[in-house]
Structure 1
Amino acid sequence: MGSISELSSDDEEFNQAIVASLESHAASEHRNTKSAQEVLLSLASQIDSNQRCRFNINRSSVLDGALRGFKRLSYNPMYQMCIKFSDDSGMDEEAVDLGGPRREFLRLLMEALILSPMFEGRNGKLNLALDSSVGDNSFVKPVLEDIADTDLYQKVKQLSECISFDDLIYATEPLQDYLANAGCLRPLKCIEDRDLLVEDILMFQVVHRVCGAFERFREGLKTLGVLDAIRMYPDSFRPLICHEPSPLTADLVDQFFHIRLSAVGSNKRRAEECVVAFWRDYLQDVEGKYCCLI
């Protein structure tokens, strides 16, 4: 009986260890599912609201004003930003920043950055702009659509679609100077060399050419620990940094249309209201059918 009791005690300790391990794992998973908003709010607690950094901003040149503010010797990322707008005549718009001017400034700054020379590419596929530094980016796999230069895109596309060795040689002729400057020249011996050449071009144009800009971007993200937070919660931050097309839903399509109904109480109005309901039923049916196919 003593041995059985000891065995039961061992089993109990083992079960407790399993439960503790599962609880620890569940807690770990819970920690790793924080939203980006939760993480950023936590990081924002480092900012001292009693200390201010003044930004003098003109709406016609928001990016220029932001750069002046960030470069000022008195700027400290741990101080709260205080935004003071002026109109085109240099008149003060608001002397005290209670949050509204700061939010508007950040919104205008994001819009200005998208249109600035810091980025290149099509909508939804913007990339940091030119820099000649090269780094270790073997984990990156760019695609043809990542090339922002329209002329280069067409030439590389033609190159990627070659089906014979003669076509391949012909397609590379307009690219000789580019390939030499990019360090992508390689001896072409067969049609299979096409894919390797296209990969070299994509890596240079999309990755290596802008590596220095990415390094500076990464250094900037280290402010207040943002980079470490992104590494800890990559899934939460991915939608903020990497473009992902939103799924087309029935509600989204419904919002594309503005319904103009006839006068209230008329027979036409009652018929139109029925049509609207049928239309929305149709959208939901299409969405449901599409989701089932997926």
Structure 2
Amino acid sequence: MFQVVHRVSGAFQRFKEGMKTLGVLDAIRTHPDAFRPLFCHEPSPLTADVLEQLFEMRLSAVGSNKRSAEECVVAFWRDYLLDVEEQEGPLQLGAILAFATGANAIPPLGFSPRPSVDFLHELPLRKGCHLPTANTCINCLRLPVLKEFQDFKETMDFALKNTQGFGQE
């Protein structure tokens, strides 16, 4: 009770008095719905375009063999996001974001550090075992470098559907 109410009551009362000086407090009380976007964050719906813009692609040097393979995977990534958006909607896009960052929505102040995409060039232990990985501490998604979109889609679907997440339902 002390931490939540009594400790901040003085600052809250000063805030209310400041809002009263120009009649803002009365306006808020009269039209609460008009002021809600100023005081309450509502996450915007996730779309494929939003996710694409959110992630920074960490590509290899221009002209290298790795770069050309990575550019192919970037195209697969964009196509995959569009497919997921069409077929399963924003809920599954939230699962992709949660897989990479631990959050299923974009926080009001954004991410720090900015989510990024790295590429897994190592050879898989067995054929078909090249799965995407993520490090949620640094908001980094590592995508496998594959030659076919169908293989990419299957590995992404498998990884996303077979992770437990963070106990979120």
Q: TM-score, normalised by structure 2?
A: 0.37
Q: Which has the bigger relative contact order, CA under 8 A and spacing at least 6?
A: 2
- Give TM-score scaled by structure 1 length: 0.24
Greater CA radius of gyration, 1 or 2?
1
